[in-house]
Each structure stands twice: as C-alpha cells, then as structure tokens.
Amino acid sequence: MIAEIIDKALSYAIDVLLMRPDLFDDFVDNELRLFLLDNQKAKHILLDVMLSHPEYVPRAWGGDTLTRRQREEQMKEDRKPSDMAEDRTVVDEETLRILDRK
C-alpha cells in the first residue's frame, strides 16, 4: 500500500518534470531528461537519495520530520561509548590478569 503510493507520487513527479518543465524555476536539461526516462531506475535512485538525505524530501512529504529523526539518531550514536573504550577495558582486564600472575 505505502509502496504503491510512493510509486505513484514519484511517477507523477517524473511525468510533470518531463512534460511540464516550464512550471519549474530550474532548467530541465537533456541529462536530467535522459535520467528520468528510465522510470524504474530513476524512482529507485530518487527514493534512495530521499531516504539517505531527508533534507531533500519536500516538507509536504514529511521532510522536516525525517531530518529531525535522522539528527536524533545521530545524537544517540554519538552518545554511545566508542569501540575504543571497550577495547581499553579488554586490555585493562588482560593486564590485570598478567599482573595477578606475577
């Protein structure tokens, strides 16, 4: 259901870009037209970019929410202890074992 809606939205957007480029301030050049002519490949790439970079998702589609969620996830990742800290703990335990043997 959701995939169908996304597919229809991207199809419509591509059709409008190809058929009515005069509606947009930016110039739709031949390179962009060639990219958009392969509908399935263009949809796949556009969706991948939209999910990877939510700042390119229109606000009406929830782009602000996606960007906020991505920032929150990044902050959670930054707060996690790094692998280096875990490695130091392992090294410290091994060092303690060696010292206990002596």
Kindly list the domain boundaries of the chain, sorted by start residue.
2-101
Give residue 10's pLDDT: 92
| pLDDT at residue 29, rounded to an integer | 84
pLDDT score recorded for residue 43: 95
Alpha helices in the chain (DSSP H): 2-19, 30-37, 39-52, 63-79, 83-101
Q: What is the pLDDT along the chain (102 residues), one digit of tens a residue?
A: 888 998 999 999 999 988 888 887 777 788 989 999 999 999 999 999 888 888 877 777 777 887 788 888 888 888 876 655 555 555 566 666 666 665
Q: What is the pTM of this model?
A: 0.56
Helix 2-19 / helix 39-52 crossing angle, nearest 10 deg: 110
pLDDT for position 85 = 52
| CA nearest neighbour of 73 among 58, 56, 87, 52 | 52
Q: How far apart are the first and last CA of the chain?
A: 67
